[in-house]
Structure 1
Amino acid sequence: MKVWGLLFLCLLQFSCSSQVTEKINGVSFVASREKVQQEHIDPVVAVNANYAAVMPFGFIRSLSAPSVVFNTERQWFGETRTGAKQYAQKLQQNGIKVMVKPQIWVWRGEFTGKIAMENEADWQTLEKTYLDFILTYAEMAEEVKASLFCIGTELEQFVKQRPQFWDDLITKVKERYSGKLTYAANWDEYTRTPFWEQLDYIGVDAYFPLSESKNPSKVEMSAAWQKWKVQLQDIANHTNKPILFTEFGYRSMDFTAKKPWLVDRNQMEVNLKAQAEATQVIFDEFWKEAWFAGGFVWKWFIHHKRSGGAGDNRFTPQNKPAETVIKKFYGDYK
């Protein structure tokens, strides 16, 4: 009987290993030109966040250009190694855990998921420079004892066409960084990402389309989430890894749930209520799930007082009703 009891406990532990008890209530902490001061961290504490994503950047000239340029004097302070480290340490001094999430920016803002080289020589150059980029920040993440490290963001074609590189990259990151790992897959990419078994979280940038309505109701958005939830839970169960929304959020504008990934500077009418309600729905639908780890609101600027506001139709929830929703939920759901 003792043997059977021990076996049962082991099986129970295995079946529950992907379940999460403490949620990641995060903000995506946007890099700036300057050092972070305490006044920049206070609003993050005030919104009851327990995590922040620190995002240094590398740059590529075009979708087929092979070289990742990073950590240069021409970049903003927060986009560099020194800046990202200072940001992380200041956040940690305030009890905020950190995910280091190095990201690529393609000139003119072209979608990183389409980065693909035209010949083998260029692929090898991309691999070498991207490896240098990621290992630089993996080592920095280890220096500050960051709780999470993200090995890439929305790089579907790179992942699809060079799978061995990514297996090798993960091995090399683990040699330098001892914390938890994830990758930020786009909402329409994560089901095809091949290396989840090697990471700790299934990272998803959660810009799932929910409604064609100009002003969608909470009931409508909740119903639309159900098909996406089934897919997310299925992959969590299959891999025995929790889902982490490496980015989530909505524009404060009409049709906010139609194409939530839109980053263009359109003149769509400001709709603060739609942003707040879409944010509430995503909390209500996911944070109660044992297979869900939490997420990082996109996005949070360091100059809180002059960010967002009633006339802004962009992603940030700052100084909008959505900020109140986040503050209450993060405060209640620790």
Structure 2
Amino acid sequence: MSRFDIRSFNFITWNWKEDFVLDDVKKEIDYQVDVCGVNTITFSFAAIQEHCYSTEIDWNGEHMPKRDELILLIEYCKERMLKTIVKPMLNVRDGYWRAYIRFFDEDVPCEPKWKDWFKNYNEYLLSYARVCEENKVDMIIIGCELVGTDHREEEWRCLIKRVREVYKGLVTYNCDKYQEHNVKWWDALDYITSSGYYPLGTMGKELDRIEEVVNKYKLPFMFTEAGCPSVKSASRNPNDWTVSIYGIIDEEEQYKFYKELFEETSKRSFVKGFCLWDWPMKSPKFKENKLIRDYSIKFKRAEDMVIKYFKV
């Protein structure tokens, strides 16, 4: 039996309307369970803001889940005796990474303000927290890699308090790689979680550092993202998604990353699981159509490594 409590992928879509076909999505869930041995489905999707200094957040467009369709999937997971996680993320329309979202720390007239951004972000997260409570979702991830916001401790603690008022399940925040020790409000959460895109050969050292944070807060830990494109040299900087566009195809590179990830985390009892990156909601049905340079492991060599550590 796998020693990891949570075995999952980020089941992602950036455009719900285009990607959602109920029977097809159910089959992808079945594949993750029956072939890869997951015990948890993590529904990952993203609201959008125009640029890194915008305070408006679009979480009602067609790119977002339809409430009734998301509920159907949650119910299907329950039928299959699976845990569920909901991960409402945030992307920036102009292509910049969400980690760069940031404003002046003191209000300046005519400039965007933290209070306006957090007001809109609260509305977004609380909407999904209510859905999670009504449908008994096991965990909500209230943010992902929002590095430029991490220092706003008071606002994050306020959001967590408000989420807990409407949702009684587990609550965590997906900090970015190398940032585990910089988040000062882990004590308000139920898990310490982060993105584990650590270069090949460094995972052991980084886990030693993370363990110090875990011991300080006395909370369980998991990687709510971790992965590597199947591209030559990608494991040097596994967070660099751009190589999946033009890089040289190399499934061995992705396999080596996963081998080290699992070998090193298996030595540390404080690591309780994974939501690996990623599993597109609209995934190829046949091996000949596999996503040859992407983070997806479906039909690739790295899939065997995941099966080895996930499958009961």
TM-score (norm 1): 0.83
- Displacement of 1:308 after TM fit? 8.6
Matching of residues 36-185 of structure 1 within 5 Å: 36-37=22-23, 38-46=26-34, 47-72=36-61, 74-75=62-63, 79-118=65-104, 120=107, 122-160=113-151, 162-185=152-175
Matching of residues 221-260 of structure 1 within 5 Å: 221=201, 224-260=202-238
Separation in structure 1 between the aligned mates of residue 4 and residue 239 of structure 2, nearest angstrom: 28
Amino acid across the alignment from 1:225: M
SS of residue paired to 1:257: helix
1:310–1:87 Cα change, 3 Å = closer
- Taking only the aligned residue pairs, the percentage that are identical comes to 23
Whether 2:282 is the aligned partner of 1:292: answer no
- Displacement of 1:111 after TM fit? 1.1
Separation in structure 2 between the aligned mates of residue 108 and residue 274 of structure 1, nearest angstrom: 30
1:139–1:308 Cα change, 3 Å = farther
- Displacement of 1:304 after TM fit? 4.0
Deviates further, 276-285 or 199-208: 276-285
1:259–1:69 Cα change, 3 Å = same
SS of residue paired to 1:102: strand
- Displacement of 1:53 after TM fit? 1.0
For structure 2, the 5+ residue unaligned runs are none
Q: Residue in 2 aligned with 1:15?
A: none
Contact 1:138 1:177 in 2 (8 A): yes
1:97–1:173 Cα change, 3 Å = same
Amino acid across the alignment from 2:194: V
- Displacement of 1:326 after TM fit? 1.1
Q: Residue in 2 aligned with 1:314?
A: 294
Separation in structure 1 between the aligned mates of residue 4 and residue 303 of structure 2, nearest angstrom: 21
Contact 1:270 1:311 in 2 (8 A): no
SS of residue paired to 1:56: strand
Q: Residue in 2 aligned with 1:30?
A: 12
In the TM superposition, structure 1's runs of 4+ consecutive aligned residues that sit over 6 Å from their partners are none
Deviates further, 129-138 or 86-95: 86-95
Amino acid across the alignment from 2:294: R
Separation in structure 1 between the aligned mates of residue 97 and residue 287 of structure 2, nearest angstrom: 25
Contact 2:234 2:240 in 1 (8 A): no
Deviation string, structure 1 residues 129-175 (Cα, Å, up to 9, x no partner): 10000001111111121111111001111221x32111110111111
- Displacement of 1:22 after TM fit? 5.1
- Displacement of 1:92 after TM fit? 2.5
- Displacement of 1:178 after TM fit? 0.8
SS of residue paired to 2:27: helix
Amino acid across the alignment from 1:315: Y
1:311–1:205 Cα change, 3 Å = closer
Contact 1:36 1:90 in 2 (8 A): no
Aligned-residue CA RMSD in angstroms?
2.1
Amino acid across the alignment from 2:311: G
Amino acid across the alignment from 2:183: T
- Displacement of 1:260 after TM fit? 0.7
Separation in structure 2 between the aligned mates of residue 122 and residue 197 of structure 1, nearest angstrom: 26
Q: Residue in 2 aligned with 1:277?
A: 256
Separation in structure 2 between the aligned mates of residue 309 and residue 252 of structure 1, nearest angstrom: 14
Separation in structure 2 between the aligned mates of residue 319 and residue 134 of structure 1, nearest angstrom: 34
Separation in structure 2 between the aligned mates of residue 313 and residue 227 of structure 1, nearest angstrom: 28
1:81–1:205 Cα change, 3 Å = farther
Contact 1:272 1:310 in 2 (8 A): no
Separation in structure 1 between the aligned mates of residue 115 and residue 130 of structure 2, nearest angstrom: 22
TM-score (norm 2): 0.88
Q: Residue in 2 aligned with 1:215?
A: none
Contact 1:309 1:319 in 2 (8 A): no
More helix by share: 1
- Displacement of 1:57 after TM fit? 2.0
SS of residue paired to 1:290: coil
- Displacement of 1:96 after TM fit? 2.0
Contact 2:249 2:292 in 1 (8 A): yes
